[in-house]
A and B are shown apart, each in its own frame.
Chain A
């Protein structure tokens, strides 16, 4: 190696030099105090950079920069939402069922009796076929 380490210093620290280049750098550093200091400063600067906290880029900035196609909403705890919705529907149907009108059952005999009672008071002209009513005490 005729000159100083120069640009090879950074590649050497990154492990990107070939075996031959690494051997030359090592041989040069053994003789050149200036290059050893330069390599030490470069290593310290890189370590300091790696120690800084990592900040996440805002999604809106990434969208503006075209780094992501669009914003996808995050799904958070879907089971809880489904359970809450199911409970609401169950409460609604239960309440509505209680409020729904109940069917009134009228036996056919009661229908007939109601009619016969009226016919006995106000008969039409048609003969009273089948219009018969129990007297008191009769079987």
Chain B
């Protein structure tokens, strides 16, 4: 009898947890859709903690029917923000969303949703219940440390008075290059749970760029048959992962890696947490020094 009660309790708990998880997963796209049409303004701070140090910036954000603008508070430069996601949220199977708690932020009711990758909490999102705007978020590394955080430090509903010309023009997807076996070899269709969304021409001739996402994080991987150098990274030091040496730099909310391999030159840029960066790099052709005679040999014999 006790066993039967225990079994029923476990099943019931599982059903409740699964329902909560499904509910939370369903709420995220709903919040995102409402956020896309919200009319508001506020100040948002962004803090990222990288191995190279802490990076901080404050943005003034405003949105109305004309679009969204983001002003860098430190430089005063007015820039248009991204087009907010208003489609369904489609994460990879590895992720699970759960409603954590209802709380308040800046005197407003918020709902906190955690997104986990297995046992690792990767994201904690706090949506404004009334407008759907993401008021705060935290991105975590696998060891539980924080990689990046965003917080609205002030927030107000109402029209910020953005004119149509102040926002960025609508973007259309660039032409997808026809996939070839050579592209698939250098830029795999999937990498550690990330799917290749499209392959386009890179910023320079001979460079192709593939964009990947797993529904939560995103990155772009560039490849060329020729060696690649990012001049700003040449002055920075190198980072070693198990004897593999890369050039690396952090920008606010993203990491950039550059290296040369037997498959040509590579650049990776994305918003991945630190351990995910390393996991992706492990799956790609490893760096090798391109000495003069090696390049000479490749030039002659491929």
Contact = CB atoms under 8 A, between A and B. Distances in A.
Interface in B97-132: 115, 123, 125
Contacts of A122: 197, 211, 213, 218
Contacts of A121: 83, 171-173
Contact of B218 (A93, A101, A124, A138): A124
Interface string A125-137: 1111111111111
B79 interface: yes
Interface string B154-166: 0000000000011
A92 to B, nearest CB: 9
Interface stretch (B2-10, B14-22, B263-271): B263-271
Contacts, number: 194
Interface stretch (B184-192, B227-235, B238-246): B227-235
A133 B167 CA distance: 9
B253 interface: yes
Interface in B66-112: 69-70, 72, 77-85, 89, 91
A106 B216 contact: no
Contacts of A123: 82, 84-85, 218
Interface in A95-130: 96-97, 99-108, 110-130
A96 B125 CA distance: 56
Nearest to B47: A129
A118 B211 contact: yes
B279 interface: no
A107 B228 CA distance: 10
A85 to B, nearest CB: 19
Range, interface on chain A: 35 or more
Contacts of A133: 79-82, 168
Contacts of B28: 125
B277 interface: no
A106 B222 contact: yes
Contacts of A110: 203-204
Given A101-B295, A130-B46, A137-B165, A125 B229 contact: no
B300 interface: yes
Q: How large is the interface on B (under 10, 10 to 19, 20 to 34, 35 or more residues)?
A: 35 or more
A139 interface: yes
B271 A101 contact: no
A103 B265 CA distance: 9
Contact of A126 (B59, B166, B216): B216
B207 A106 contact: yes
B299 interface: yes
B150 A132 contact: no
Contacts of B211: 115, 118, 122
A107 B137 contact: no
Contacts of A128: 81-82
Given A105-B231, A122-B218, A124-B218, A138 B204 contact: no
Contacts of B218: 115, 118-119, 122-124, 126
Contact of B203 (A113, A129, A130): A113
- The 8 residue pairs across chains A and B that have the minimum distance between CB atoms: A129-B253, A100-B299, A110-B203, A135-B80, A130-B252, A118-B211, A132-B79, A124-B218
17 contacts: A96-B300, A103-B227, A104-B265, A106-B229, A111-B267, A112-B251, A112-B254, A115-B211, A116-B82, A121-B172, A123-B218, A125-B115, A131-B81, A132-B70, A132-B81, A133-B82, A138-B79
Interface of A: 93, 96-97, 99-108, 110-139
Given A132-B79, A133-B82, 8 more contacts: A104-B226, A111-B220, A114-B222, A119-B271, A123-B82, A128-B81, A128-B82, A132-B82
